């Protein structure tokens, strides 16, 4: 049985569309300043960065939640006190929009249906609209608006259902092996890993979780999509 041709592209926001790496030092410093009053000792940035690395290695869905719990466990109240700041923060001021995103998405939209597939606050919609990007997308909702978030398989299923396109005709483009690539491969989607940020060297656990391609710049995406399309019998 031959594979189905690609009809839709799911695009993560953090990584492919915006460089959000500036969030990490902000959050690390926030924890350095606020953890001592909760756990009763000073915490170094090196300790926090090591906890972040552990979160990546163990496929923790939320790096920041993992790191908070690493330091405050078993104090659940302390966890939620720090987590509340994370939940309430949009982090949009830390975004660095990738200028090539508009032209790449314009080009892809001529042949494919585009969908946002991101664990972001709803305010990100207005940010991307202001950048002139969302005119090329059919699905524009963030995870906050749809009740599911990555890596929940229902997140991807929800988007495909809204697009009325089978999952095996969709490709996921994201920067995280755990949240983007693994669930996509479980659903028989194609998957392209954007190697950037904290998760750029995240290990691949199993052969069936390998991405179909890797990119290091968004400008590479149209050619890689074309190659994947041509490889399908």
| 1 pLDDT above the threshold of 80 | no
pLDDT value at 2 more than 60: no
Q: Which pLDDT score, from 0 to 100, does residue 233 have?
A: 67
pLDDT tens for each residue of 74-99: 999 999 999 998 887 778 999 999 99
Angle, vertex CA 93, rays to CA 175 and CA 62, nearest 5: 40
* Residue 89 confidence (pLDDT): 78
Q: How far from 115 is each of 37, 38, 48, 108, 155, CA to CA, in Å?
A: 43, 41, 34, 11, 12
Percent of the chain with pLDDT over 70: 99
Query: Is the pLDDT at 101 greater than 80, yes or no?
Result: yes
Per-residue pLDDT tens over the stretch 40-70: 999 999 999 999 999 999 999 999 999 999 9
What is the reported pLDDT for 85? 83
Q: Yes or no: say if 151 and 179 are a contact pair by the CB < 8 Å rule.
A: yes
Instruction: Classify 8 as helix, strand or coil.
Output: strand
Contact (CB, 8 A) for 6 and 112: yes
Average the pLDDT over 179-189 and give the result.
Answer: 98
Q: Where are the domains of the chain?
A: 8-20+95-231, 23-90
The residue with greater pLDDT, 3 or 111, is 111
Instruction: Compute the mean pLDDT over every residue in the chain, rounded to the nearest whole number.
Output: 95
| Residue 184, pLDDT score | 98
pLDDT of residue 88: 78
Whole-prediction pTM: 0.94
pLDDT digits (tens, 9 = 90+) for 105-130: 999 999 999 999 999 999 999 999 99
- pLDDT, average across residues 218-228: 97
Is the domain spanning 8-20+95-231 CATH 3.40.50.1000? The answer is: yes
């Amino acid at each position: 049985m031959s594979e189905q041709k690609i009809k839709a592209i799911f695009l993560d926001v953090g990584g492919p569309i915006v460089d959000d790496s500036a969030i990490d030092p902000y959050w690390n410093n926030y924890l350095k300043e606020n953890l001592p009053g909760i756990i009763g000792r000073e915490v170094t940035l090196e300790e926090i960065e090591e906890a972040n690395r552990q979160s990546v290695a163990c496929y923790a869905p939320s790096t920041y939640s993992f790191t908070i719990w690493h330091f405050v466990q078993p104090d659940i109240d302390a966890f939620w006190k720090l987590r509340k700041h994370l939940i309430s923060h949009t982090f949009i001021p830390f975004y660095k929009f990738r200028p090539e995103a508009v032209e790449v998405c314009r080009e892809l939209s001529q042949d494919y249906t585009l969908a946002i597939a991101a664990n972001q606050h709803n305010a990100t919609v207005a940010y991307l609209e202001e950048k002139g990007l969302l005119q090329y997308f059919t699905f524009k909702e963030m995870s906050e608006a749809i009740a599911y978030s990555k890596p929940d398989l229902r997140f991807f299923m929800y988007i495909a259902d809204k697009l009325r396109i089978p999952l095996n005709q969709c490709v996921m483009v994201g920067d995280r092996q755990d949240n983007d690539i693994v669930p996509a491969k479980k659903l028989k989607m194609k998957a392209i890993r954007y190697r950037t940020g904290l998760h750029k060297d995240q290990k691949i656990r199993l052969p069936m979780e390998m991405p179909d391609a890797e990119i290091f710049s968004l400008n590479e995406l149209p050619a890689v999509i074309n190659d994947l399309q041509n490889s399908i019998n």
